[in-house]
């Protein structure tokens, strides 16, 4: 199986920048980016990241807002904060050199057994297994595992399989691990696996028993909850340029550290009136909301969100201190490109760019 899989990989491996130059730092960044994200999506992000932060030292010294801006659109922003924290740890404890022993890598923020094994096997040839979505499925089919791979006993068994399959000599463990992951990505796919082109079909127990469409066992599907949210666009005209009321989102919440238009994320709101009341409490002045501009629909964790975007303004009978209370700020439209924002925040930004006239009058 090893020989056949490695021969197939030699002919079919996709070209990826971290494969052509598998330095530990390169492999580490790619593995973190690839968590719950497809290769095609990651590639442009990876290239831009390496151009801006080519070394661990560059990453450790970077401003968090700049890192978030580079990560914008990849989601799961905790990953980039873990990268930043880990880079600082590498500078403090390892002299800026990415460690090459398993325990030290495992001690880095955001790194688990899979990531540590992937980085060290691919970059340094360490004899360490990997078990992630693709290899979990591949190995489950190879041994015709009838239990869900998420079952703790099944997970332990699959780690044992991953360890046992590593080459004893010759080819590196990193090459084998990549070959198994590549097989899962290109051939042994979750649905409709292409068994006819699989290089190891003759050895696969699921294929022999015609169970390849039933294995791996049922994985609990996420049930989405519908949720309605509101964003309020408050603007003013200053020096011939429109400014918008914004804030960096608070720590511990969704999209922490990213900049956003007024949108309640710490509390639930069922109506635009409640959203306006929330903003009024934040600013200390009454807020009037206007008509809905548009609705964006997106999914976050277990929620399917309908985000209604409304115009709003401060009540004409009152005035707010300038600058506004922390953390709120007036931000010029031309400056929004430089701020890290969520995907929906960036969509609102794009809408405002296409409709550059100030939104002050509510009609």
Q: Is 90 exceeded by the pLDDT of residue 320?
A: no
Is 31 a catalytic site residue?
yes
The tens digit of pLDDT for each residue in 187-197 reads 999 989 999 99
d(CA 320, CA 298): 33
Q: Is 70 exceeded by the pLDDT of residue 357?
A: no
Q: Of 74, 136, 128, nearest to 106 (Cα)?
A: 128
Per-chain mean pLDDT for the chain: 90
Helix then strand count (H, E) for the chain reads: 15, 6
The stretch 92-97 carries a mean pLDDT of 96
d(CA 296, CA 17): 35
Q: Which stretches of 77-233 are DSSP H helices?
A: 78-94, 102-106, 113-124, 133-142, 152-164, 173-186, 205-208
Q: Is 80 exceeded by the pLDDT of residue 360?
A: no
Query: Of these residues, 31, 72, 229, 243, which one is catalytic?
Result: 31
Q: Of 95, 103, 68, nearest to 84 (Cα)?
A: 68
What does residue 264 show for φ and ψ, rounded to 5 degrees?
-65, 115
Distances (CA, A) of 19 to 25, 122, 129: 12, 8, 18
The stretch 42-60 carries a mean pLDDT of 97
The stretch 259-284 carries a mean pLDDT of 88
The tens digit of pLDDT for each residue in 61-87 reads 999 999 999 999 888 888 999 999 999
Domains in the chain, CATH or no CATH each = 2-208 (1.10.340.30), 225-354 (3.90.79.10)
d(CA 183, CA 198): 8
Q: Is 281 helix (H, G, I), strand (E, B) or coil?
A: helix
The tens digit of pLDDT for each residue in 171-214 reads 799 999 999 999 999 999 998 999 999 999 999 999 999 999 99
Q: Of 163, 204, 167, nearest to 184 (Cα)?
A: 204
d(CA 358, CA 355): 8
The stretch 239-260 carries a mean pLDDT of 85
- Report field, pTM of the whole predicted structure over 0.75: yes
């Amino acid at each position: 199986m090893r020989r056949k899989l490695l021969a197939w990989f030699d002919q079919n491996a996709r070209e990826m920048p971290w494969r052509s130059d598998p330095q530990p730092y390169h492999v580490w960044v790619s593995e973190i980016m690839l968590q719950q994200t497809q290769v095609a999506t990651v590639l442009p992000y990876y290239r831009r990241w390496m151009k801006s932060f080519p070394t661990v030292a560059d990453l450790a010294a970077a401003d968090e807002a700049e890192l978030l801006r580079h990560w914008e659109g990849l989601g799961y922003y905790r990953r980039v904060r873990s990268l930043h924290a880990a880079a600082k740890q590498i500078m403090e404890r390892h002299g800026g050199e990415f460690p090459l022993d398993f325990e030290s890598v495992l001690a880095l923020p955001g790194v688990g057994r899979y990531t540590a094994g992937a980085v060290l096997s691919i970059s340094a040839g360490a004899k360490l297994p990997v078990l992630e979505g693709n290899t979990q499925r591949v190995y489950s089919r190879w041994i015709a595992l009838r239990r869900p791979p998420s079952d703790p006993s099944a997970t332990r068994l699959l780690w044992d399989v991953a360890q046992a399959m590593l080459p004893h000599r010759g080819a590196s463990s990193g090459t084998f691990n990549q070959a198994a992951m590549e097989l899962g990505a290109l051939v042994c796919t979750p649905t409709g696996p292409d068994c006819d082109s699989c290089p190891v079909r003759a050895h696969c127990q699921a294929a022999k028993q015609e169970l390849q469409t039933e294995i791996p066992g049922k994985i609990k599907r996420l049930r989405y909850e519908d949720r309605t949210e509101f964003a309020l666009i408050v603007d003013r005209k200053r020096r011939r340029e429109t400014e918008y009321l914004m804030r960096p989102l608070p720590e511990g919440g969704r999209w922490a550290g990213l900049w956003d238009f007024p949108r309640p994320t710490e509390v639930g709101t069922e109506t635009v009136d409640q959203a306006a009341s929330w903003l009024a409490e934040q600013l200390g002045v009454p807020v009037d909301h206007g008509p809905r501009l548009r609705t964006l629909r997106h999914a976050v964790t277990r929620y399917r969100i309908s985000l209604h975007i409304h115009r709003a303004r401060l009540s004409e009978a009152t005035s707010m201190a300038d600058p506004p209370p922390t953390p709120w700020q007036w931000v010029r439209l031309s400056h929004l490109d430089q701020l890290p924002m969520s995907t929906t925040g960036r969509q609102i930004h794009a809408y405002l760019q296409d409709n550059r006239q100030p939104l002050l009058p509510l009609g």
